[in-house]
């Protein structure tokens, strides 16, 4: 079976090894004549990025790049990106990279047409309707990791550099017009990033699956996403050149992001403040806090997790699933505690205040109170 396909759910997805070669065609098809490729500093000099610029240039689209993007992209990165977009007279964005490049690229395309500050478009109520929708530039997304799923999402996470809080900025037009999922782009990912991003995909599926909201479509996608991670993440981690494993992890990542329209939960509520304050890797942070959150949620999710365990071929119901998570973590070299990521106990109160107002907290199956958040942080650190 060849793992190459064109999907139109939730957007046009061009899936398969080598399909980055179609980049210029897809840019042109959505009306770009002078795209700006947005990625992070680390990726900018790498061969996969230079190759993408070569493809754009060979088609007469230029080779403009903006790469002043931090691992947790912030409003200053965004402002600089929008300036580069406007100064360069660009008409579209190639959002290229892991979560940072994708999220910032999407936000640049969005903000290029806005006059209000970005925080006016936080994912609250119908705030997105404040946007000038016609001014939003088209986006072609090219993920180079398999975790965030931002390539199929309608939001970006931007850190407020003054308050050190992560804000979700939402608009339906954040959804890229075309996404190219080329697993060959993920082959060079260091093992630690394969592990961290893969665990982010798993956390998306797990939290969406456990969220109490009614969304049976997402529920099904989340379950199969977890199965793909179980089968293919250890393989991709052991052998980064295993294209079948890389491809299936790319699917799992996209599925996780589609599924979490149903909601996320306390794994992300705890992880966001940690990332905003300590600049830790998002997926790795999720992986560390996952077992304590599972224990905390157990009363509400026991039956549901037992059903997932059965589907995933695990014996022992909730306990079997829990043991599997511990085993997966150790197989992938995930540390047991947040202290190993440089997180101290001195800011637990502050992080707990942030966690309970995080937009993901409302999707947790057990109410995340301030006391509970403090207790969970103490356990995790």
Q: Which residues bind Fe ion (CB under 5 A)?
A: 200
**Which positions ≥6 away from 192 have C-beta within 8 Å?**
281, 284, 333
DSSP H/E element including 205:
helix 191-210
Q: Which is nearer to Fe ion, 37 or 287 (CB)?
A: 287
> In angstroms, what is the minimal distance from the CB of 359 to Fe ion?
12
According to DSSP, the β-strands at 139-143 and 165-170 are unpaired
Which backbone phi and psi does 38 adopt, to 5 degrees? -110, 125
Q: Which is nearer to Fe ion, 182 or 200 (CB)?
A: 200
Q: Which is nearer to Fe ion, 138 or 143 (CB)?
A: 143
> In angstroms, what is the minimal distance from the CB of 257 to Fe ion?
8
> In angstroms, what is the minimal distance from the CB of 319 to Fe ion?
25
> In angstroms, what is the minimal distance from the CB of 358 to Fe ion?
12
> In angstroms, what is the minimal distance from the CB of 203 to Fe ion?
6
Residue nearest to Fe ion (CB): 200
* Alpha helices by DSSP H, 312-369: 317-331, 348-357
Q: Which is nearer to Fe ion, 98 or 183 (CB)?
A: 98
Angle between helix 191-210 and 282-311 (nearest 10):
50
Quickly tell me which residue has 């560390």 as its tokens: 288
Q: Which is nearer to Fe ion, 56 or 155 (CB)?
A: 155
Q: How far apart are CA 33 and CA 139, in angstroms?
A: 13
> In angstroms, what is the minimal distance from the CB of 268 to Fe ion?
6
3-state secondary structure 73-138: CEHHHHHHHHHHHHHCCCCEEEEEECHHHHHHHHHHHHHCCCCCCHHHHECCCCHHHHCCHHHCCC
Q: Which is nearer to Fe ion, 122 or 184 (CB)?
A: 122
Residue 233 tokens read as 């993440």
């Amino acid at each position: 079976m060849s793992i190459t396909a064109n999907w139109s759910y939730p957007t046009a997805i061009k899936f398969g090894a080598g399909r980055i070669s179609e980049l210029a065609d897809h840019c042109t098809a959505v009306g770009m004549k002078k795209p700006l490729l947005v990625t992070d500093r680390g990726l900018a000099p790498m061969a996969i990025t230079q190759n993408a610029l070569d493809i754009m240039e060979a088609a007469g689209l230029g080779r403009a790049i903006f790469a002043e993007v931090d691992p947790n992209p912030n409003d200053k990165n965004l402002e600089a990106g929008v300036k580069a977009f406007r100064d360069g007279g660009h008409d579209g964005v190639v959002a290229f990279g892991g979560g940072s490049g994708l999220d910032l690229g999407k936000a640049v395309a969005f903000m290029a047409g806005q006059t209000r500050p970005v925080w006016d478009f936080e994912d609250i109520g119908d705030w997105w309707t404040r946007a000038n929708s016609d001014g939003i530039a088209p986006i072609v997304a090219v993920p180079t990791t398999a975790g965030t799923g931002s390539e199929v999402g309608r939001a970006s996470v931007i850190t407020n550099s003054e308050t050190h809080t992560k804000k979700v900025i939402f608009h339906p037009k954040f959804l890229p017009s075309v996404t190219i999922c080329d697993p060959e782009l993920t082959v060079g990912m260091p093992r630690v990033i394969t592990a961290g991003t893969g665990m982010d995909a798993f956390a998306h599926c797990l939290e969406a699956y456990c969220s109490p909201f009614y969304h049976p479509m997402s529920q099904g996608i989340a379950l199969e996403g977890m199965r793909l991670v179980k089968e293919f993440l250890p393989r991709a981690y052991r052998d980064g050149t295993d294209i079948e494993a890389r491809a299936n992890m790319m699917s799992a990542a996209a599925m996780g992001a589609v599924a979490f329209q149903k909601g996320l939960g306390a794994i992300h509520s705890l992880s966001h403040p940690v990332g905003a304050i300590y600049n830790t890797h998002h997926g790795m942070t999720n992986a560390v806090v996952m077992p304590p959150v599972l224990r905390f949620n157990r009363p509400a999710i026991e039956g549901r997790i037992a059903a997932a365990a059965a589907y995933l071929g695990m014996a022992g119901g909730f306990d079997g699933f829990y043991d599997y998570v511990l085993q997966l973590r150790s197989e992938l070299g995930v540390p047991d505690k947040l202290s190993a990521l440089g997180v101290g106990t001195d800011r637990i109160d502050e992080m707990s205040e942030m966690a309970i107002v995080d937009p993901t907290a409302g999707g947790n199956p057990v109410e995340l109170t301030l006391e509970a958040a403090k207790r969970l942080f103490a356990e995790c650190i």
